[in-house]
Amino acid sequence: MTDETRIRVLFVCTGNTCRSPMAAAALAAELGSDAARVEVLSAGTSASEGQPASSGTLETTRSAGFDLSSHRARRATARLVSGADLILVMEPHHRSALEAMGAPMDRVHLLSEYPEPGDPGLPVSDPYGASKEAYEECWRRIRVHVRRLVPVVRQILEIRDPS
């Protein structure tokens, strides 16, 4: 497999310590054997470089069998977003921030609305600093949206490498 047959999916939230690392872990798991063909990344529009995942994120994902202890936050950059094949943001203001840095807007989608018609009634709110229940609800919503996303990612893979 060459780099041309791999795809890069980028999840973007604000601080890159809660929602986007959760979504990246969820997508990698949902892809199963196809995960090796997809580079799943996460970043934040206002991330403090090197910050670990929040304690609520670690606790919530750990109880679901995921270990995000090695995650370190990174800021979304023009270079990072320009190299992504598919970019999923958590809130509309994240899309605006990426647009301001020149992201290819045909590749940027609101996670709760993609693929269409999505489930816009199920927004992915930031749980940072909130209750355990808020983290669990965020994780549940992310899992719902990511499961809807998997067929789209597999379709992109098929277009890239139909063999």
Give the catalytic positions in this structure: 13, 19, 126
d(CA 63, CA 162): 37
d(CA 91, CA 110): 6
Task: List, as one string, the DSSP characters of 114-154.
Answer: -STT--TTS-----TTS-HHHHHHHHHHHHHHHHHHHHHHH
Q: Kindly state the tokens that stand for 112.
A: 């709760």
